[in-house]
Structure 1
Amino acid sequence: MQQDQGWADDRYGAVADAFAGDFTDFPELGAAVTVFVDGGKVVEPWGGAQSGSGLLLDSPAFRPLLGPRGFGNDGAGGRFACGDDEFGVGFGYVANRMIGHGDARADRLIEAVRGCLG
């Protein structure tokens, strides 16, 4: 997965380059780093899955949700729950068969709900 989001002050480009290496040298699904120097933010790249306060956030490269304000959580076996206050929608999905990495069942449901919302 390519890290292609965020930014870095020119003086700290090496930090962003090292972070990008996490996606080419290791099987990273998502990561972020923020560096402050003397109280100012100098580096903030991210890529793949995003999370905030323990929740999955809309991550187009990893798991797109209903929209940019979406949040949710996924788990083993394709389990998934999400909500989006912009659309006033929340839903959950559980299955009784574990498929593992690459399980597209929840992704198809998210896409179908997104399509219905227009």
Structure 2
Amino acid sequence: MNTLKDKKSEGRSRVDRDADNLQLQQLEEKDVVSSVATVLSDLCGPGEWMPMEKLHAELLEQYSSVWHHSRVKRYLTSEDSSGPESKGKPWYGLLMLLRKYPEHFVINTRSKGRVTLEFVSLVSLLS
């Protein structure tokens, strides 16, 4: 029989687990953001923009064998993303992550007809 004490400890452990998961996700994001900043600073000069497609390819090449599978899946594939805007863009998860950090990254979007291209640069390279 479940007692009130069992339910309390079950609820507390779920809260602890959720907090741990959030902390882990934040550490993971920080690691990915750091990797992106490294790639951009290595490959771009001051005032230069890198197409998201090229950034994605560089990250795949340099980090797909290093990063944990779930991180690769989350940021380097569009498997977890649904919606028309992610279609054909395996870097969509990465783009969403970079948009969360406007203090580090500037994203420039250009559209021609139905084709939308995204370019990214480090804030420090543009200032």
| TM-score normalized with structure 2 length | 0.23
Bigger proportion of residues as strand: 1
Structure with more relative contact order (C-alpha pairs < 8 Å, separation 6 or more): 2
| TM-score normalized with structure 1 length | 0.24
Bigger proportion of residues as helix: 2
- Larger Rg: 1 or 2? 2
